Amino acid sequence: MIIREIPWRDPVPAFAPWASDPFAVLFDSAADGDARSRWSYLAVEPFRTILAGPGGVEADGRPVPGDPFAVLEAELARNPVAPGAGPAPWCGGAAGFLGYGLGRHLERLPGRHGDDLGLPDMAVGLYDVVVAFDHRERRCWITSLGGTGKLESVGARLEAAPQAPAEPPSAAGPWRAELTRAEYERRVGRVLDYIRAGDIFQANFTGRFTAGRPADLSAFDLYRRLRSLSPAPFAAHAACGPRLTLASASPERFLKLSADGRVETRPIKGTLPRGATAEEDARNARTLAASAKDRAENLMIVDLMRNDLGRVARTGSVTVPSLCALESFASVHHLVSVVEAQLRPGIGPVGLLRATFPGGSVTGAPKIRAMEIIDELEACRRGPYCGALAWIGFDGAMDSSILIRTLMVTPDRIAAHAGGGIVSDSDPAREYEEMLVKIAPLLRAVDPEWRAE
């Protein structure tokens, strides 16, 4: 590994020279003061790309046999790196998204919705050059697993990047909801019917908004607008081929895996908005922390994640060091739990993904029946939404977010989803209002004048 330290710079303007490249990814720890926001990464110019969709899997545009998980695992195995060789937790490997629909490669699941946006199920690049930013120490490195040529090229583009980008222009609108308020509440009522009938304990029901994308509106400008409205520890701008860019402000870690097999997942369940005043904000935080409904919702998903991790963890190693802790973000308070485990020998990051994907917080319990009901009742395909955005090191380490609070940007359209967990005492009207609270920063990043009706 070649390691070169360079002067500190802000990762967002540093990324600007690659913002329109088809496989450039910025993992942007944008929540100042958050312990999870130490590292940001810039991954550009991959030496291989993997796309998966209804027609199968392609590597560098050529069909390859195997399901998407198997192809990803094989590509990672071609380039092993010893743990701890670099200055940062990630110094090269795979980066990209695994869409919610990849669950159909793991279980027999329905898929009644067409792909109206034309999006892949998975888009991943393999990167031998990564720029790592240490926010705590204010240090920055370029690392290369190959020769110096690409390292020098990336370094030269970084040096030429502006220290601060110009302010993004005003965006466009308006948004169109796939479901009216009345229809959203009616479908939440149908979820409640399934719960009362004993089919499930919880399902994560969501809705989608879409807007046209003007030709002069860049995905990078949209990301910067979203970042300013809703800074998050797992923020990211990810170009996923020529037809899709993800602008994400996710607050939720899906899976963190160390090279020695330690796993952490941090499911979020339970939400209230931030208050307009300090007094209202503190009152909302206390209300959420004491909410029996929200705590029960969180506990169900903790149990689900414990069971999923138990499929690949050492016996007795699954623990819950934190249950229903209150965490506050730019626009909402959440209840967040932490589940930890130690993987069995021989299980790596892709094996862990196979055991747990999609995340329990965006499916429900029991997972498979909840996903069947989601497919029946939601109005459209989720696509990348509720999947995961991840980096996976050639040394076996990984970190990933749940793809919530994310704009999906195509050449001519923009899509945003939000929703919440439905349990037996959910109120459809309140569930609709919670969805609006979550989606508001996304919609305002595109249409600053958007207001809930």
| Closest alpha carbon to 119 in 24, 18, 246, 250 | 246
Own/partner long-range contacts of 287-290 (Cβ < 8 Å, ≥24 apart): 288/326, 288/333, 288/334, 288/335, 289/324, 289/326, 289/335
- Please check whether residue 165 is in contact with residue 12, taking contact to mean a CB–CB distance below 8 angstroms: yes
Q: Distance between CA 359 and CA 100 in Å, rounded? A: 9
Q: Which residues pair with 176 in a beta bridge?
A: 210
DSSP SS3 for 62 = strand
- Residue positions annotated with a catalytic role: 252, 269
Neighbour tally for 243: CB within 10 Å? 16
Q: Which residues pair with 56 in a beta bridge?
A: 53
Q: Which residues pair with 3 in a beta bridge?
A: 143
Q: Distance between CA 101 and CA 105 in Å, rounded? A: 8
Q: Distance between CA 138 and CA 10 in Å, rounded? A: 9
Side-chain-side CA neighbours of 330 within 13 Å: the count stands at 21
Tokens representing 271 are: 């939400």
Per the listing, tokens 């290369």 go with 144
